[in-house]
Structure 1
Amino acid sequence: MKPDKKYTPEEIAPLASLEQWDEDLLERYPEEGKPAKAKEEFRNYDSPQRDTVREFYRLNHTYQTYDFVLEKEKEFLKFNKKEMPVWNAVEYLNTLIDDSDPDTDLDQLQHLMQTSEAIRADGHPDWFVLTGFMHDMGKVLCLFGEPQWAVVGDTFPVGCKFSDKVVYPEFFALNPDATDERYNTKYGVYSHGCGLKNVHMSWGHDEYLYQMMKDYLPEPALYMIRYHSFYAQHRENAYDHLMDEHDRKMFDWVRKFNPYDLYSKSPKPPVVKELKPYYEDLMAKYLPGTLKL
């Protein structure tokens, strides 16, 4: 499916809030040692949340083809949409406001700081803290008009057989690649142990931000950014046949990051004004003066 397809408003935003994806992850992967979040604790929308999440993944699994991903990479990895200082880019992401999110007053910036401050509190290296702060910056794709299902969602390889370990695998039957002989075998266009560096992942904020950050952050940070939504592998080990030994080593870092991504959210807002100087210094240490989006 080519990205020049005209999507309906319902196809662009099937979720009432991007946070619904995160909530669904918490249901699937509750924090170790804690019970799954009770259903009544989740946001209550007029239409059942599960139905909107199912529709989100129906669209995601239908349209995320190998050709779609290549076209999106070609379109967005030119980084010619905007250029601005790094903190301004974070503030630009913060214009992604969702009034339909009834259960929190936290904005995008505060959510990012919750993750990074939890990492900082545990004494991890400063590049790890910065990774937590920046890891969802790729969601600016929404501000460029991208459909939700091409920004967030569990990621998976395209160009080979879809795993039944990916959430809602039944919807892959709607994807044209599922019946294309080039792409529907175990390895598809890849080979055994080829390494994830040679694998195209479904398009979204992970790959976009990785490509933006790849010249600036340590390799463990880049793996965290690029694969933090690749639950079919770092939780289910579904694509081990494509990984090489270096990937397996680096996925220890992805798994180390995952609890901070999922479980660090709380209703208590960080005080951005107090923390801003620390993060500006951290950005100056690792990142260029301006980011190209």
Structure 2
Amino acid sequence: MKYDGPLNTLDDWEDDLKQRYPEQDQPAEKAKDEFRDYGEQTRPGVREFYRQNHRYQTYDFVQQKRTEFLGLDRRAMTVWEAMEYLNQLVDESDPDTDLSQIEHLMQTAEGIRADGHPRWMILTGLIHDLGKILCLFDEPQWAVVGDTFPVGCKFSDRIVLAEFFADNPDSNDPRYNTQFGVYKPNTGLDNVLMSWGHDEYLYHVVKDYLPEEALYMIRYHSFYPQHRESAYDHLLNDHDHQMFQWVQKFNPYDLYTKSDQRPDVEALKPYYLELIDEYMPGKLAW
């Protein structure tokens, strides 16, 4: 199943992240300062994706989407059913891999499992991208994936392709275009409205089932302006800084476990069904 939009596939954004943030313990093919080159070398699809994302992710838009989706009344599904539902997003047009979404999720989870991390973290790896089912609810890609950032305050110039925020109405709104905007200094992320996407949506689906460390991983794994650039330290409180250590621990598994080596889904399925049942039995509201 294919989706028209500024990116050829949903995986394009993740491939772009790996270019921006190369695995630090592997030699890079180009100089370190070239990896954040978003000039003429940026693929047109990536630029168009962020042009739309930065134009339309406003404070009012995010509130509208939260009202629209956070009633969690679209479907009732088990986690495994949600994985199979997401599997409709097989990237048939991707020339580099023909792995299914379930296989991608299992690659992340198996990387975490191989390194001996807790069972809840393995499960977090398995489910962290399930919020992408928003695409199957007819949401455009720019409102599902992409780097996330706070709305309701000035957009940081350390957000990728920040120049496109010039077209965002909030950039000219005195309520929202100052450093703190509608927030108080170091208010804590629980009090900050993030741009809309699969991270925030999935957090609300699973927030009653997993440890807080897992919920931070899910809710902020795309918040690259903070966990790679520290662009919003002025909004975080001490607890956020402590919990972000878990986001940073999770990030390499999210970025660098994708490969063309297929996991054996049927062989692994009993293990993961048991793991899901341990933390999130039965049907969840989506």
With the shorter chain as reference, the TM-score category is: over 0.9
Which residue matches 2:268? 275
Deviations 1:220-254 (A, max 9, x none): 00000000000000000000000000000000000
**How many Å separate the matches in 1 of 2:192 and 2:250?**
22
RMSD (Å) for aligned C-alpha atoms: 1.5
- Secondary structure of residue in 1 paired with 2:43: helix
Who is 2:33 aligned against?
none
- What does residue range 229-244 of structure 1 map to in structure 2 within 5 Å? 229-244=222-237
Counterpart of 1:67? 60
2:9 is equivalent to residue 17 of structure 1: yes
Residues paired across the two proteins, number: 275
Q: What's the counterpart of residue 208 of structure 1?
A: 201
Would you say the 8 A contact 2:153–2:177 is kept in 1? yes
Pick closer, same or farther for the CA change 1:37–1:134 going to 2, 3 Å. farther
Equivalent residue number for residue 175 of structure 1: 168
- Give the letter aligned to residue 204 of structure 2: Q
AA in 1 matched with 2:59: Y
- d(CA) in 2 for partners of 1:79 and 1:196? 22
**Distance in structure 2 (CA, Å) of the matches to 1:211 and 1:22:** 23
Displaced runs of 4 or more, over 4 A: none
Query: Quick check: 1:31 aligned with 2:23?
Result: yes
- What code does the residue aligned with 1:164 have? D
Cα displacement (A) at 1:37 = 6.0
Contact 1:210 1:226 in 2 (8 A): yes
Q: Are residue 119 (structure 1) and residue 112 (structure 2) matched? A: yes
User: Where do 1:134-213 residues align within 5 Å?
Assistant: 134-213=127-206
1:103-135: CA deviation from partner (whole Å, max 9, x where unpaired): 112000000000000000000000000000000
CA separation of 1:202/1:108 partners in 2, compared to 1, >3 Å: closer, same or farther? same
The alignment partner of 1:278 has SS state of helix
Alpha-carbon distance, 1:269 to partner: 0.6
Q: Is the 8 A contact 1:193 1:242 kept in 2?
A: yes
- Farther-moved stretch of structure 1 (86-95 vs 245-254): 86-95
TM-score (norm 2): 0.94
Given candidates 109, 129, 134, the residue that maps to 2:122 is 129
Equivalent residue for 2:278?
285
| Cα 1:240–1:51 shift into 2, 3 Å | same
Please give the alpha-carbon distance, in whole angstroms, between the structure 1 residues aligned to 2:78 and 2:239.
33
- Kept after mapping to 2: 8 A contact 1:201/1:207: yes
**How has the CA–CA distance of structure 1 residues 98 and 37 changed in structure 2, closer, same or farther, with 3 Å as cutoff?**
farther
Matched-pair contact (CA < 8 Å) for 2:90–2:100: yes
- Aligned residues of 1:190 and 1:199 also touching (Cα < 8 A): yes
Counterpart check, 1:99 vs 2:120: no
Query: Following the alignment from structure 1 to structure 2, what is the Cα–Cα distance between the partners of residues 187 and 49?
Result: 31
Measure, in 2, the Cα distance between the counterparts of 1:288 and 1:246: 29
Whether the 8 Å CA contact 1:159–1:184 is kept in 2: the answer is: yes
SS class of match (2:89): coil
Which whole-Å CA distance do the structure 2 matches of 1:35 and 1:165 have between them? 25
The one-letter amino acid paired with 1:160 is C
Asked if structure 2 preserves the Cα contact closer than 8 Å seen for 1:118 and 1:260, the reply is: yes
Aligned to 2:281, the other structure's residue is in SS state: coil
TM-score of the superposed pair, with normalisation by structure 1: 0.91
Contact 1:63–1:175 (CA under 8 A) maintained in structure 2: yes
Contact 1:228 1:254 in 2 (8 A): yes
Q: State the AA in 2 paired with 1:204.
A: G
Which amino acid counterpart does residue 224 of structure 2 have in structure 1? Answer: Y
% identical equivalent positions: 65
Please tell me the residue identity of whatever aligns with 1:281.
E
Match of 1:5 in 2: none
